[in-house]
């Protein structure tokens, strides 16, 4: 039940947050464009849709084996959409003055995400022999978030990208995700205290809550990136 409501609440939060965010940001800078709305919308959609699919999976998890398998596919599909939707705005602000690099990274992450969607939903890819290929696709999608950060720092410098990509907020976001994933993988704390966390406080529930915290941290980072690129004159030196 906690697994259901933790992500139902998270989904509702990120489906409704765009309204106050839009009315807060829209009049702030005359330089803001439709592109800003699109990248923020991509982020909100990715997070909200991921949480909604996760909640759906947990609701119908025990219905039947076939429904469990399909729900598990939807759960992974949500993760793919979350990763894609989180990367797009980072690329937009990180390479704000480099349209060609934006396009290159948009294409890269979208192609990798499409491959992951196919691998997630196609029945043949559920076979054990395709497990390495699935892992490689998900690893590639994860790297598509890291590589632009490294490239941006190498090209524009740490200080510039600290503001354009809000690297400290991205680090906090990654920390939340890694801690949550690590606790779930290691089954902490229930492996230390069997049966004590069967209802409340299990690692899966903690992971859900930390993933929501990661989404909030990512949002704060995007808001600061938005303020940086629109809050100064000649941000691109022209």
Q: Binding site for Zn(2+): which residues?
A: 58, 204, 208
Binding-site entries: 58, 204, 208
Pairwise CA distance, residues 202 & 196, whole Å: 9
């Amino acid at each position: 039940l906690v697994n259901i409501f933790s992500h139902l609440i998270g989904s509702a939060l990120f489906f409704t947050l765009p309204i106050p965010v839009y009315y807060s940001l829209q009049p702030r800078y005359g330089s803001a464009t439709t592109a800003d709305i699109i990248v923020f919308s991509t982020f909100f959609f990715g997070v909200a849709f991921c949480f909604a699919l996760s909640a759906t999976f947990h609701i119908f998890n025990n219905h039947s084996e076939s429904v469990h398998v399909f729900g598990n596919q939807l759960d992974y599909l949500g993760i793919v959409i979350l990763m894609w939707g989180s990367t797009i705005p980072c690329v937009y602000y990180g390479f704000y003055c480099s349209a060609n690099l934006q396009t290159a990274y948009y294409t890269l992450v979208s192609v990798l995400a499409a491959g992951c969607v196919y691998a997630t939903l196609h029945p043949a890819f559920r076979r054990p022999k395709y497990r390495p290929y699935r892992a490689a696709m998900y690893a590639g999608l994860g790297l598509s978030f890291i590589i632009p950060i490294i490239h941006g720092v190498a090209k524009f410098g740490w200080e510039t990208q600290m503001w354009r990509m809000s690297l400290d907020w991205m680090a906090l976001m990654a920390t939340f995700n890694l801690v949550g994933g690590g606790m779930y993988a290691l089954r902490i704390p229930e492996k230390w205290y069997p049966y004590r966390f069967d209802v409340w406080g299990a690692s899966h529930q903690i992971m859900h809550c930390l993933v929501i915290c990661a989404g909030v941290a990512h949002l704060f980072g995007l808001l600061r990136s938005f303020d940086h690129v629109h809050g100064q004159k000649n941000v691109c030196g022209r």
